[in-house]
Amino acid sequence: MFLTIDTNDARSIYQQVADGIKELIARGELPEGSALPPVRQLANDLGVNLNTIATAYRELQKEGLLTVKHGSGSVVASRTATERSHDELLRPLRTALTELVLAGLKPSRIQEIVIQELRTVTKGSK
Amino acid sequence: MSPNQMLIAMFILSCAARVRGCFRRWRQPLVRGPEWFFNVHVRPDFYDGPGRKLLHRYWVRMFIPIAVEVLLAAAIFISGHLLYLYWLIVAASIAVHVNHLFSVDLAERQARNFAVPEAEQPVSSVVLSLTPRRLRDYTNRRTEQIIILASTGTLIWLVRYYLRAPAEHSLRAIFGLPAFLLYSQLGFLFVKYGIVAWRTPIPQAQAEEHLHAREEARRFYLRACDWLRLLTAGELMFWPVLLTASQAMRTYVVTFFWVAVLAVSVVLTVWQELGRRAVLKASLRARPMKMPDFLHTGNSSRPLCYEPGTPMLLIRGARGYSLNLANKLTQLGAAYLAGLIALFALLRMSH
């Protein structure tokens, strides 16, 4: 299972790592309970500071997607365990939709894009 | 067979075992074809101009440890202190590899000035494997069971042997060599840990090939470590046999043991060469690519550094690599060497 980091991407490396893991969880490629590599391994392989990966893991932990088990490292948490409110969950979607509207796309085209992206994101998930 | 004859036989065999390695290292710069110098994609006229000089310099550097070894071996033979041959074999095996790593790195850095410009651009996309890499994932349960059984069984037997008549036996004579062999076991485990933890940056292009090449190399070196650990456990098990052998039988037992060790070493050397071919085949399928430097460490030229936030053992700089003293492997390695010195001192002091 791979995670891709692009140096041309405007997002910071920690954000790319966090987003990449989120996508894999959403697609069901990282099912509940699967172990993630230790921070040191990922940071070493990528050649970045330990804090970069630790921040990504912390963010995922804060969002309830990862749990840190003593002795066995980080594992993917149950997806029903999320404690974020409905409004909180919708906020990034609203921001993304606003961007698309401001870019001049018609509502029907936006709808198409959303459906297509949803299919990509949930590809493989049960 | 006298001890001196055994040492000479061991020295000759160790030299013979390294011949193939010499040829391999000799051909290594050109193994990817005429457009390459090691892992550097060079300009077409490279070997007509500066490349020839760089290649010759690399070959001369490869010859240095051999020349030093020949001189030292001659000095040992002339002085008659043949016991030093054992330490020469150990030192030469380490020196050849260290010199090789250093020379390849130096040659590649010099060749980068004549590389194809596009090839010197770091890749923009890198791939991270999310599969956890732990020592236990690369551990053969049966091998571990054999080593644990052999080590504990021998130790129990030695303790009982010593306790039967403590006044008659010397602690050093009974436990000296086993202590050294057990400490070597620990050293091999430490090396295994280092191999598992060794970083594997992978470019997005040809990710599968790169990952396969790295896994192939990792498994090859781990298997070699396990074979050496099994050989060490075998040596440990032989110790009680030697202790209980009568004076008349001792020479035969030792000769049998040395012949067995040498035969196993020859078999392992052949196996290693075959394994290397598979590693080389896998590595040739993966095209070398320059990885991006996320830490921007390219300007550092110190041989040692202390970077607690950086997880790497070796940090690439302007003049080769810098050893990160904050890395757990460096600290464990230093502790291991200190322990080895303490063990030797303890064995020297004990009676």
Q: Encode chain A (126 residues) as per-residue pLDDT tens digits.
A: 889 999 999 999 999 999 999 999 988 889 999 999 999 999 999 999 999 999 999 999 998 899 987 777 899 997 764 566 788 888 888 999 999 999 999 999 999 999 998 888 877 665
Pairing of strands B125-129, B36-37: unpaired
Distance to chain B for A73, nearest Cα, Å: 10
* CA gap B91, B69 in Å, rounded: 9
Per-residue pLDDT at B297 exceeds 80: no
Give the pLDDT of residue B295. Answer: 79
Digit-coded pLDDT (tens) for B82-100: 989 989 998 998 899 999 9
**Secondary structure of residue A4 in the 3-state scheme:** strand
Residues of A with CB under 8 A from a CB of B: 1-8, 13, 17, 20-21, 24, 30, 35-38, 40-51, 73
Q: Are B203 and A48 in contact (CB under 8 A)?
A: no
Cβ-nearest to B130 among A3, A13, A44: A3
Helix (H) or strand (E) holding A56: helix A50-62
Q: Which pLDDT band, with edges at 50, 70 and 90, does B233 fall under?
A: very high
Average pLDDT over residues B266-278: 89
Q: Which of B129, B130, B300 should be substituted to probe chain A, the one whose Cβ sees the most A Cβ atoms within 10 Å?
A: B130
* CA gap B349, B334 in Å, rounded: 23
**Secondary structure of residue A85 in the 3-state scheme:** coil
Q: Whole-model pTM?
A: 0.84
Distance to chain B for A111, nearest Cα, Å: 30
Digit-coded pLDDT (tens) for B314-350: 887 777 788 899 999 999 999 999 999 999 999 888 7
Give the pLDDT of residue B74. Answer: 95
Q: Are B314 and B291 in contact (CB under 8 A)?
A: no
Q: Are A43 and A78 in contact (CB under 8 A)?
A: no
